[in-house]
Structure 1
Amino acid sequence: MKSLPKLIRRYVSIMLLSCVLLLVLNVVLLAVFTARQAPNAYPWKTAEEVADALHQTNDGGYALPDAVSLELKDSNAWAILIDNETKQVKWQTANLPDTIPLSYTLSDIASLTRGYIDGYPTFTGEMEDGLIVLGYPQNSFWKHMWPSWDYELIANLPKTILSVFAINAALVFLIYVVANSKLLKSIKPIVNGIQSLPTGESVYIKEKGLLSELAMNINKTSEILQSQNNQLHRKETARANWIAGVSHDIRTPLSMVMGYAGQLKDDTHLTDDERQKAAIIVKQSERMRNLINDLNLASKLEYNMQPLMEKQENAVAIVRQVVVDFINTDIDNKFPIEWKTDENISACFINADKDLIKRAVSNLIQNCISHNENGCSIFVSVRADGQNCIICVEDNGKGASDEQIEKLNNTPHYMVCDTNTTEQRHGLGLLIVKQVAASHNGTATIEHSSHGGFAVKITLPLLQEN
């Protein structure tokens, strides 16, 4: 169940990414908020600027530069200068509220430095002969009047912040797991069911939870697939039984036809024309018998009904024996066979059913003969290539087009029809070759011959030495 951990990792990654993005967003918003408050965030600095800019005039009074006065006006702030000696206000701005006293004690000064005068937040700046007090509109600033903190709290502040962050992250993860536990429990049987569908197994998932509708659809899909598989199995069984039955029923009357036709072919009382017709009947009957045998064998191989008698065999010896048998029957030398196997290779051992391998090689040589009525040379070779044994049968006949070869390599049917429907073309014999190779964990590949004709390569695994 590789997909469930992957899904969980995806959800966790999304959650962590969300937390990081949320943290970044909060930091950005805090920065924006702080930037917006920056113009009003330096009243102490402004108070120092007023203290530095305030100067005494020739007539003994005090005056502020126009720029500083404009800054105070824009902030709607007022200012007073308290004399160090008398504690009396000896200078004030024109917008001083009426409720602001003009005489102060030391305790009043200590109080206004930390806090307010009549609800106005105040900030101070030092001069040589007095104290500048800057007052802002009520509710414009909040002042912390007892700013004292435990030293260990400040020293451990980074560790405290990280701890709080970790606790918050753990809490978010816990909430996520609890909130999605039912969903994760529902996903596991769904994933298992989907993975089991391609194997053909019957699947049933309890139709409950958040994904009950999806579970119901998977159950219906499994039922449909099971029904289709059962119908297909019945059809395949019926077809195999029909082929076996027809093959059995045809053999007896076909044997009688071949027997009587053989007698007529050899009867000297008949004319040459009549005996020639009888010979054609025998030849076509033999062809029909071979076709029936091929059809029956192909059906058995397709449905794994052909028992394999596998044992250690020498592929070189098997193929050489098939070649010798064909050479002995080619009296007219119309289809000469060249043995192209390297003389240094005397053995190429495979685990195989000898009769089936001979049948496959015989089909390939017969295929060369059947499709080159004007004769051709046939080339047969056996070689070892890495961990495989390669059996190759090719000719220099008329060959096949690229389209035909593509069709032969990919058509799973018994027969391949073409424009000539009066005879069997490439198809059934080559299908048996493919099935024999597949039953031995090998492959059969159809291609163009290096000699200009048709070629088939059977690749079988070599027998591994202990």
Structure 2
Amino acid sequence: MKIKSYNLQQKLWIFLFTITLVSIVFAYSLSQVFYQKLYVDYVKENLELQVEQLASDYKGGPLTDTFRQQVEWLNSKTHGEMFVVNNPRELSACLPFEIDYETLISEEERQSLLAGKAVFKKGYEERFQRDIVAVIYPLLDNGRLEGIIYSYIPLTSMNEFTQDYTFVWFIAGFLFIALMFLVGVKVINFMVKPLKEMKKAAMKMARGDYSTVIDGSGRDEIGSLATAFNQMSQSIQEEDERKRDFLADISHELRTPLSYIKGYTQALLDGLVKTKEDERKYLKLISRETKKLQNLVQDLLDLTKLESNTFVINANPVAFAQFIEDYMEKYISILQDKKIKLKMDLSPEVIISGDEVRLEQIIQNILENALRYTEEDGTISLCLTKKGKNCILTIEDTGRGISEEHLAKITQRFYRVNKARSRFDGGTGIGLSIVEKLMELHNGHMTIESELHKGTKVIFVFPILDL
């Protein structure tokens, strides 16, 4: 059997109706309890007041006809029934029905009356064959019970008295439910409207449409949710655009070297190369493009790992100045061949916590760019200083520099300042993105300063290891 499913709006309607109905029933039941209690207490106090006033006229001795007549007169003026008796058999003269005279009061009640205490009764009374509220008051003379004043009101009279009250409650409750339902539906529709809009927007997002903007002006949780939804939608849209751009860039980056490799290989296969010198030239070009592809794939793998939350560096204490000096040995011959001067000013006491393999990768990416864009007789400078709890490594060159419009985007993946020329003498285009991620993993950060035709300065800030 299929169970019917309700949406949030319907559930809220049902909840509102149920709560309203339960509240009215509970309030009515509680009011009935209080009303009955208050009314019974009022009747009791009224009956007690009447019999006490009558009893105050009793001066002792046998009950007189005058006293009986006074009770009968008062009985004719009140809503309930009242009589006075000293012998139960005399009740036949004042009651229109047969009762068990000997059981008008029990022995326990008689003892209370002898003690001068009034007796209160509520409920079904067999002697009168009805539900009553009654007060029995003793008439004592020197400790002897000369008689009693018995005053009672049938509960049927009380029920009749409360019928109008119950009817008013029913009408008021019905109107209240109708009013709450009408108002509640509008309020619920207003509250659920942003959620419905979010549902529609989410379905559009699933189809790739991120144009819907939810009204997040409300200051409640739904307004905050709408704002968060808009932010999420914008973030997903930006990420989707970055992903498309990334795939387009990868396709573009792969297409160029693959085209060269395919063209040169096809020329060799077709026998278009006639001399060994040309054949070697073509093979060198194929090797160069293959190396570019290899570097690109490796950088992509590195970047993918770095962007995952599972990547962890193998950090150890590193004497940074000595590490840089040792690493720069491999570049001495390259600098000499390009006739580029190297200057190093390294503070020897700096010790950091770092992954040596990844530190080499950081320095290599920056040095490769510096070597690539610095002309002959230029200079590359490395400076390591200590500042507070951090150290600052600066790698500066006297190369072409970067204009301000490109500087803000230089760390984006596949971003190139000179796109045409970089296809031949540039890197993979994601080296700086890798460096930025590696710096984050080392709890540091990178800043790039540059001026066109004057050079570029890359500043690394690492926390110093406290030993």
TM range (shorter): 0.3 to 0.5
TM-score (norm 1): 0.42
TM-score (norm 2): 0.42
